[in-house]
Structure 1
């Protein structure tokens, strides 16, 4: 049998249905409201006035720039074991499934039913009958006005938004891990400084006690010396608490129970140096910032998703065309398996339209457009916040770097002053108050120097966090894979 006439008829049939739908749309004359345009007025000029090495791209694994193997190991472990990243990865898999489900809208759908019924009608001489029934149905929507295509785009942009949220969590986890490690080392260094000064002050207190006992000094000097010593001792528990808190934070970030932190992370219990950058912070350009920051890219994806959803709402102004087919069968005492009369079928299109009263549809379009405009405003605010974050972090980093040399010189001068004060006291030129003042000055100078080291590294971490961290999904996946390999081999 020649099938060419049937093919020609099918094409003519589909074209006729499309023409009918367009005719219905033209009769209703629904005007399509214009979509809001993404016209950001923010000028992303190079405003990184405090950048140290502007123009050089920041590396994704910025924590390796501190040349601290323990820090690198902790961040790698956090990226591998942190549960928040696992949650984000699960959300990404769910978004992938939503994309696949949306793409199925362009394919056909089927349904099958099978049933059996055993019974007898009321009345005399009626026999028991077994009825077997079954059916299969299929449908396919002709996407004449890109409703399904817009739904697919919305799902894809939602997937991109979820991906950027995962990247943002990874960057945040890396920054939090590095910051907790810096806080730990800073507290250990400040504790060591306070303990060393407490030892010096204890020796001074013992000396002044002997002088008081011999009548060569007054109780006033004794009380002043004890006040300074006790004040220094009172600061030690604060540093010890910071050490314990930092270790607990690192345990949580790296997926270790807090009560097992000492055994799982033994390298943290010994005093270590505060990590510092081997080179200056490389910021790149503002365009690099826009490309790197996950929250900016997430805001961009949200605008695109909202625009796609607006297209979905606008497609409701026009009819939907769905082609349906249905095959059913019934087998009982009257219909046998070998009889064509037991088989039934149906084939035909369905055209549905929400008109002619489209007021509800237009209201939904207005809602969608307003949400799109909100997403655009949110993007602009996110961009402004990102530029501000980088500016503030780099400004603080630069100013703390400027303070470093003076604080180091101040600490060195305070040590010399203490030696001279002791010498002059021993020679009888000055009283013990000058020695106490020199000890207090030395403690403050050394503590300020340690705090400066902590702040310099803290602001460097903040700068890298503000600059956006890892580039792509592949880099994040590769980083986690490399971490697994390095820690398992």
Structure 2
């Protein structure tokens, strides 16, 4: 009956408890109502434009490149950094399980047997020596069959002790300390999950940029070979004209020099191609050159789609993983303030134990072998030397830091998107001008070659026209590559790609 009253009283105290510390509220992300108006307007005919339509999760499919699609589909399950991030997420979930265990009672069972002997010269010598009673009737008197005999010096006999029982304890979470710890652990799981999403998004964007850069390098290589063949043709014509007295040795030297300059670009471009393939191989967890057979065939740079959906600013905070990670960090810091506040309050623990103890194994079942202990205990902080106040102040400062960090992450995302939109628009305007310049350079080279062959123009004019054409073609090729890589960077800035889910196949590799 007394035990029942104690349980009822404990339950009443528990229900009367409260959770101390501030409750978390989702911060407001200060974002514009619309993205930059100039970049969102349709540009000249033929240019890719952005719209406020919802962002496509699988944004890499907009390039319509099967090779890129294969790489993006494989990277989530193959990248080693992502595997590490998945393991860290699993670790945080395991830590949360450990933390949540404090909500429940702890029960332990124990059993043991010991062989003991009391010291004849110890503190028990003055009270006599325990010995087993030969008369079974003494066991019925409730002393477990033991008699106390006067001290007999060194004649104290060893004896066995058999014991079976269990212990239980439960800290009443009156002030919500454990609840706040679990809340902080849940936020930690969210932090690791969003960190993994952010890493996945960054890795996918890096795969797209490297792949586009690879195709751009291969395009430069093709342009260089075409110009190298053209330079060789000019050198051949110059030598023929020299044989007929129509060209000088200086003309031959200049033509040969142009051939060598063009040829010098070939190994440099092949080196860039090899390094880019190796970067892609590393991102997919492969050995150097593992993707060469798949990627060495030259293909054009993946074109950008005519329409690029970028969503609206209000969706960014829910989609971009680094903003969500910063929000979860703020949530964790807020919960830890509550943990620090709860440490100022008393801790009440209900504990109990019950066991059977006897000097003979056969006596463990006797009622006289039962023993138990039950009762609450309270721990009250009285003097901690400023530790509790210092910890609470530290947690409050960390919460303020997390709040400022959240604002910084949101502002940085805004700047990143605005810069990417501006660059995407300006690069397309630059492409239009470069295309026009290349056409003019091609026409200038044809005229210079015709005049030189006809003997009405100097050879230097041909070389200048050829150099201008090569430079213009390379600038145009680099610009086309930059437009596509900027689009990949824009999608990364927008948080597109697995923003709410994670590839199940990739998770299964480590969990």
Please give the TM-score of this superposition, normalised by the length of structure 1. Answer: 0.88
Please report how far the alpha carbon of residue 125 of structure 1 lies from its aligned counterpart in structure 2 after TM superposition.
Answer: 5.7
CA 1:93–1:482: 2 relative to 1, 3 Å: closer
> What stretches of structure 2 of length at least 5 have no aligned partner?
41-48, 121-152
Q: 1:65 aligned to 2:62?
A: yes
Verify the 8 A CA contact 2:452 2:458 in the aligned structure 1: yes
State the distance in 2 between where 1:35 and 1:148 align.
14
**Could you report, residue by residue, the CA deviation over 1:226-263 in whole angstroms, capped at 9, with x for unpaired residues?**
2222111111111111100011011111121114333x
Matched, 1:195 2:225: yes
Query: Which position in structure 2 is the counterpart of 1:105?
Result: 102
Deviation at 1:86, TM superposition (A): 1.2
Q: CA 1:260/1:161 → structure 2, altered by over 3 Å: closer, same or farther?
A: same
Structure-2 separation of matches of 1:174 and 1:277: 17
Matched, 1:206 2:236: yes
- Equivalent positions of 1:126-205 (< 5 A) are 127-205=157-235
Shift of 1:472: 4.0
Q: Distance in 1 between matches of 2:14 and 2:28?
A: 42
**Per the alignment, do residues 16 and 449 of structure 1 end up closer, same or farther by CA in structure 2, a change over 3 Å counting?**
closer
Moved more, 55-64 or 130-139: 130-139
Counting matched residue pairs gives 466
- Pick which of 37-46 and 70-79 moved more: 37-46
2:36 to 29, 39, 48: 48
Distance 1:191 1:471, change over 3 A: closer
CA contact 1:335–1:342 (8 Å) conserved in 2: no
1:75 aligned to 2:72?
yes
Cα gap change, 1:273 to 1:479, in 2 (>3 Å): farther
Q: Which runs of 5+ in 1 are unaligned?
A: 23-31, 484-489
Alpha carbons 2:31, 2:313 under 8 Å: kept: no
Q: 1:247 aligns with which of 277, 290, 294?
A: 277
Aligned CA RMSD, in angstroms, stands at 2.7
1:348 alignment counterpart: 375
In 2, Cα distance between equivalents of 1:401 and 1:312: 54
In 1, distance between residues paired with 2:93 and 2:24? 28
Once the 2 structures are TM-superposed, how far is the Cα of residue 392 of structure 1 from its aligned partner? Answer: 1.0
1:314·1:365 contact (CA, 8 Å) conserved in 2?
yes
CA pair 473-331 structure 1, distance change in 2 beyond 3 A: farther
Q: Which moved more, 1:206-215 or 1:5-14?
A: 5-14
Q: Which residue of 2 aligns with 1:308?
A: 335
Distance 1:479 1:137, change over 3 A: closer
2:418 matches 1:430:
no
Does residue 317 (structure 1) correspond to residue 310 (structure 2)? The answer is no
Encode CA deviations 1:441-482: one digit per residue, 9 max, x unaligned: 2111211111111000010011011111235443x2358589
More helix by share: 1
Structure 2 counterpart of 1:27? none
Q: Is the 8 A contact 2:357 2:370 kept in 1?
A: yes
Larger radius of gyration: 2
Structure 1 pair 105–482 and aligned structure 2 pair: CA distance change class (3 A): closer
SS of structure 1 residue aligned to 2:373: strand
Question: What's the secondary structure of 2:354's corresponding residue?
Answer: strand
